[in-house]
C-alpha cells in the first residue's frame, strides 16, 4: 500500500470534514434551540461563497475585508429571516411543518435570486493563497491549511461559547425548556436571533473557506444540505458534540470510499451510513436525553 497516497486521501477527508462540521453545527444549533428544521441552510451556505465572489472578484475588494463583509451579510440575512419568516409563525403557534415550508420558500427565493443575478455556472473566486507545502510526502495547500486551522478554532470556540458564555447557557436553557427559560427571565426572542445569526455565520464561514479550492455555483447548497441532514440525524438532532464526531467520521469515510471504491457512488454511501445509523439508533447515535 502507498502510505503517502493514503495519508493524502485522509488529509482531504479531514479537510472536507471540517467544512461539514461547520455547516452541520449551524443546522443542529438552529434545531436544538429553536426546534426549527431550516431548509434554507444550504442556500445560506451558498450565499457565503457567492458573496465572496461578488466582493473579492467582481468588486475587487481586499480578500479579508470581503470575508468579513460576506459573513456579516449572511448573519444579517439570518437575523432578518428569523424576524420576518420564522418568528411570526412561532408566535402564532404554527406547526413545525409550516415553519419548515417557510424556510423551504426562502431557499427557493435565494437560489433563483442568485441564478437570475449571477447565473447557474461555476464562478471564479479570488485565490489569495497559492503556495503548496510538502509535509512527509503529503501535499498541503495554504488554502487547505487555513481552512483546517480556522475551522478547528471556530469549532473549539463554539464549544467554549455554549458551555461558558452567558448567552451560550441561555441557548442551552432555551433548548431544554422554552417556557422555563421565559419564567426565569431569559429573553427567548433575543436567544433565537443570536441562534440564527450564529447558525448562518457558521454555514457561510464553511463555504468561504472552501470557495478558493472548490467550485462555487448557485446550486452548491443542495448537496451540502442533504449531507448536513445526514450528519445531524446520525449525530442526534441538537447535539453539537455528536455532529463533530459524525462529521469527522463521515468526511474520512467518504474520502476513502471515493478514492478506493467509486466517486460515482459516494452519495449512495453517505445515505447507506445514515440508514444504518438510524436502524441502530433511530434517535441518533449520539442522542442525549
Using the predicted structure, report yes or no on whether residue 65 has a pLDDT greater than 70: yes
Is residue 190 a part of any domain in this protein? yes
Is residue 235 a part of any domain in this protein? no
Cα 124 to Cα 121: distance, rounded to the nearest angstrom: 10
Quick check: 43 and 221 in contact, CB under 8 A?
A: yes
* Number of separate domains in the chain: 1
pTM for this predicted structure: 0.92
Cα 190 to Cα 278: distance, rounded to the nearest angstrom: 34
Chain-centre distance of CA 113, in angstroms?
A: 21
pLDDT tens string 115-174: 999 888 999 888 787 788 887 778 888 889 999 999 999 999 999 998 899 998 999 888
pLDDT on residue 289: 53
Is residue 257 a part of any domain in this protein? no
Cα 18 to Cα 161: distance, rounded to the nearest angstrom: 18
Is residue 259 a part of any domain in this protein? no
Is residue 148 a part of any domain in this protein? yes
Quick check: 143 and 19 in contact, CB under 8 A?
A: no
Is residue 94 a part of any domain in this protein? yes
Half-sphere exposure of 266 (CA within 13 A, CB side): 18
At 111, list the grid cell: 437560489
pLDDT on residue 288: 58
At 196, list the grid cell: 440564527
pLDDT tens string 23-40: 999 999 998 888 888 999
Residue 135, classed as helix, strand or coil, is strand
Is residue 242 a part of any domain in this protein? no
Q: Which of 34, 156, 153, 166 shows the shortest CA–CA distance to 103?
A: 34
Cell 427565493, residue? 109
Cα 70 to Cα 264: distance, rounded to the nearest angstrom: 33
Residue 143's domain comprises 19-221
- Residue 261 burial (CB count, 10 A): 11
Is residue 13 a part of any domain in this protein? no
| Position 213 confidence tier, pLDDT thresholds 50, 70, 90 | confident
Amino acid at each position: 500500500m502507498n502510505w503517502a497516497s493514503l495519508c493524502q486521501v485522509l488529509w482531504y477527508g479531514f479537510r472536507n470534514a471540517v467544512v461539514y462540521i461547520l455547516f452541520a453545527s449551524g443546522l443542529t444549533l438552529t434545531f436544538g434551540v429553536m426546534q426549527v428544521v431550516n431548509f434554507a441552510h444550504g442556500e445560506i451556505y451558498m450565499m457565503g461563497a457567492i458573496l465572496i465572489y461578488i466582493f473579492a472578484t467582481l468588486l475587487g475588494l481586499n480578500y479579508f475585508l470581503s470575508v468579513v463583509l460576506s459573513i456579516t451579510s449572511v448573519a444579517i440575512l439570518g437575523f432578518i429571516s428569523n424576524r420576518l419568516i420564522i418568528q411570526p409563525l412561532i408566535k402564532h403557534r404554527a406547526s413545525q411543518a409550516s415553519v419548515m415550508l417557510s424556510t423551504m420558500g426562502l431557499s427557493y427565493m435565494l437560489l433563483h435570486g442568485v441564478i437570475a443575478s449571477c447565473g447557474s455556472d461555476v464562478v471564479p473566486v479570488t485565490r489569495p493563497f497559492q503556495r503548496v507545502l510538502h509535509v512527509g510526502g503529503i501535499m498541503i495547500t495554504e488554502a487547505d491549511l487555513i481552512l483546517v486551522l480556522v475551522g478547528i478554532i471556530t469549532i473549539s470556540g463554539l464549544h467554549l461559547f455554549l458551555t461558558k458564555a452567558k448567552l451560550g447557557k441561555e441557548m442551552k436553557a432555551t433548548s431544554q425548556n422554552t417556557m422555563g427559560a421565559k419564567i426565569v427571565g431569559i429573553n427567548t426572542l433575543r436567544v433565537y436571533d443570536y441562534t440564527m445569526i450564529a447558525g448562518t455565520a457558521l454555514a457561510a464561514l464553511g463555504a468561504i473557506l472552501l470557495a478558493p479550492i472548490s467550485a462555487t455555483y448557485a446550486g452548491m447548497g443542495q448537496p451540502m444540505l442533504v449531507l448536513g441532514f445526514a450528519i445531524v440525524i446520525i449525530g442526534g438532532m441538537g447535539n453539537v458534540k455528536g455532529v463533530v464526531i459524525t462529521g469527522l467520521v463521515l468526511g474520512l469515510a467518504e474520502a476513502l470510499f471515493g478514492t478506493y471504491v467509486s466517486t460515482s457512488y459516494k452519495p449512495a454511501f453517505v445515505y447507506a451510513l445514515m440508514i444504518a445509523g438510524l436502524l441502530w439508533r433511530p434517535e441518533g447515535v449520539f442522542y442525549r436525553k
